[in-house]
Amino acid sequence: MPRSFLKTADEWYVPLAERIAKHHAVAGRTLLIGVNGSQGSGKSTLAALLTQLLAENFGLKAIDLSIDDFYFTRQSRLSLAEKIHPLLATRGVPGTHDVALMNATLEQLSRKNHEVSIPRFDKSRDDRYPESEWNKVSAPFDIVIVEGWCLGTPAQTDEELLKPVNDLESREDPDGSWRRYVNQQIEGRYQDIYQMMDVWIMLQAPSFECVYRWRLEQEQKLADKLSQSEQENRVMTATQIQLFIQHYQRLTEHSLQQLPGRVHYLFSLDADRRIVSSDAPQPSLVE
């Protein structure tokens, strides 16, 4: 880890882990922690670090999951695209996740003497790994951390859905049927996941404009893991990323406006992903 991140961890995340440990002591059961943050904000790093800190500093059995690993298979999304709207072939928005699988997995992680298979998604192939390659873990866990760019995002009003927010929506969703379907998913099945969370954490980007650069950095990291021949058709170009993130713009901007006052722990970031302030908008279990 770079020295700058170690300083961030000591200043902000070690105290956060201590608070979560206190939450667990008060609750006396498996706690589910939801982490929201736009693409590239560092939520995966935070979730992994918290898992490590909770184990090493407090002796708690913790696991971190990503909502990305619960995407529908490519074939399932192509079926959605054919039946409902072509834009649903692209992973990301609510409606492209297997919420039933996610719900069942989260419930199983709190059961005693239970082996749980954790789904895995291969973004370089845009498809879920075969079940034979899923990770197997032994439950129960004290802490389950779930991170996702849209996790906790509330639904929009009918009025908010009327106007397209970018060229993608104007061109490929002129009647608003795609965004209405996504909104219906948030209002419906995703509420089951939201209600399971005991504690909410948000990494708040300064604006959506930062997301393109952050997402570009993520893709470069993916490219660095692949050989030159593997990169072809498995790594997006800058132009492709610019189009890709337009699928996320509406809900990212909505999250940045609506979520900060609804979470237990809010960390505000600058354009370089440095934490500039923190807040606790909602009362927590240990208040």
φ/ψ of 276, rounded to 5, equals -105, -20
Contacts of 207 (CB under 8 A, 6+ apart): 256
Contacts of 115 (CB under 8 A, 6+ apart): 136, 137, 138, 139
pLDDT, position 223: 60
Distance CA(127)–CA(110), nearest Å, equals 27
pLDDT, position 46: 96
DSSP string, 256-284: HHHSGGG-SEEEEE-TTS-EEEEE--S--
Do the beta carbons of residue 17 and residue 47 sit within 8 Å?
Answer: no
φ/ψ of 36, rounded to 5, equals -110, 140
Q: Give per-residue pLDDT as tens, 22-60.
A: 999 999 999 999 999 998 899 999 999 999 999 999 999
pLDDT, position 227: 60
The residue ranges of every structural domain in the chain are 3-274
Pairing of strands 199-204, 265-269: parallel
pLDDT < 50: residue spans in the chain: none
pLDDT, position 69: 96
Q: Which CATH architecture has domain 3-274?
A: 3-Layer(aba) Sandwich (3.40)
Percent of the chain with pLDDT over 70: 93
Distance CA(145)–CA(159), nearest Å, equals 34
pLDDT, position 239: 83
Pairing of strands 121-122, 127-128: antiparallel
